[in-house]
Amino acid sequence: MIESPINEIDIVKAKTSKIEKVDFNNLAFGKTFTDHMFVCDFEDGKWQTPKIIPYQAMTIEPSARVFHYGQAVFEGMKAYKDENDRVFLFRPEDNHRRINKSAARMAIPEFPKDYFFKGLSELLNLDKDWIKPGIGNSLYLRPFVIATEPAISAAPSETYRFMIICSPAKAYYKGKVRVLFAEKFSRSADGGVGFAKAAGNYGAQFYPTSLAQKKGFQQIIWTDASTHEYLEEAGTMNIFFRIGNTLITAPNNDRILDGITRKSVIQLAKDLGIECEVRRVSVKEIRAAAQDGSLKEIFGAGTAAVISPISAFEHAGDVFEIDDIEESYASLFKQGILNIQHNEAEDLHGWRFEIK
């Protein structure tokens, strides 16, 4: 872990704010951005003095390596405000560790922890008014790194740009989601970059997901690349299954993202005395459970949606509907996580991080 001390951040404040033009009751996810952004360049073998500047377009050469070789990683985080106007992040140290793990896999230099947290704090204090209190409201944060060196030889870049942009958010998915079990396409493979939040992982999902959407499904549950017999992730989320009263989720490996919400659900299950098995989950097992009625729930877990219940799945032409149940695990975990994030419940595990 890089622990470079930071002496200052150069800050240029926006002359006017865009906030009065924003309808916070009707937000399309990820399309509205706050007044400022964080920028830090890697040059001459080290990260330079970070800056916070007004949100704006930037100039980059068409030969920048990010366009040609895909050296780009990112994170997804949220900031929350309680009723006393205090601002919190949720498990941000996990995000910092993960973006550096992703960066290392893509031959990108790791970003110093002090820069990361100081940058987040200064940025959120500047754009604090964009964070609205109340369950369901948040400010989505997108830290990311791109290769900027203007060169098209096939080699890692020698220069990079680390940025954080912010977007006010409400619910990501509205209502329940219908999914298709993947039988042909794969999200990632052994030895690849599936565990990293590399930009190309997500771009590669768009085409098979568009095919699923044409059939009336919002997302795909990805299966293993070798046999397509085991269920691994749901679209951009980790996946959980409830058979009887047992919660089941696939183990982490080099194909599956180490989801922070996933880890939180597993811990909350332990706190509540809910049996949770971390093991391989076969398509055959879930089909059988759906047929005999023991499959009670499927839900996705991720930063943007928190918990996203799944109402039906298709596999090999067969569609299986999942009935609503009272006191679902999905609603229990979602409310539990939201309450911790918004400072409305005790934080037993030190997950909240207050912005001072």
Domain with CATH 3.30.470.10 in the chain: 10-169
Q: Which CATH number fits domain 177-341: 3.20.10.10, 3.40.50.2000, 3.40.50.410, 3.65.10.10?
A: 3.20.10.10
Per-residue confidence band for 240, with pLDDT thresholds at 50, 70 and 90? very high
Per-residue confidence band for 7, with pLDDT thresholds at 50, 70 and 90? low
Domain with CATH 3.20.10.10 in the chain: 177-341
Q: How far apart are CA 315 and CA 164, in angstroms?
A: 39
Q: Which is nearest to 302 in space by CA: 350, 255, 258? A: 258
Name the packing angle between helices 329-341 and 260-272 (round to 10°): 110
Which two three-digit tokens encode residue 7?
């002496």
Which two three-digit tokens encode residue 12?
């240029």
Residue 2: the pLDDT is 44
**8-state DSSP, 228:** S
- Average pLDDT of the residues in 61-81: 98
Per-residue confidence band for 8, with pLDDT thresholds at 50, 70 and 90? confident
Residue 6: the pLDDT is 59
Element (H, E) at 282: strand 281-282
Express each pLDDT in 136-183 by its tens digit. 899 999 999 999 999 999 999 999 999 999 999 987 666 779 999 999
Domain 10-169 matching CATH 3.30.470.10: the answer reads yes
Q: Alpha helix locations (H) across the chain?
A: 65-69, 92-105, 113-126, 199-203, 206-214, 260-272, 283-292, 329-341
Return the residue matching tokens 């098209």.
152
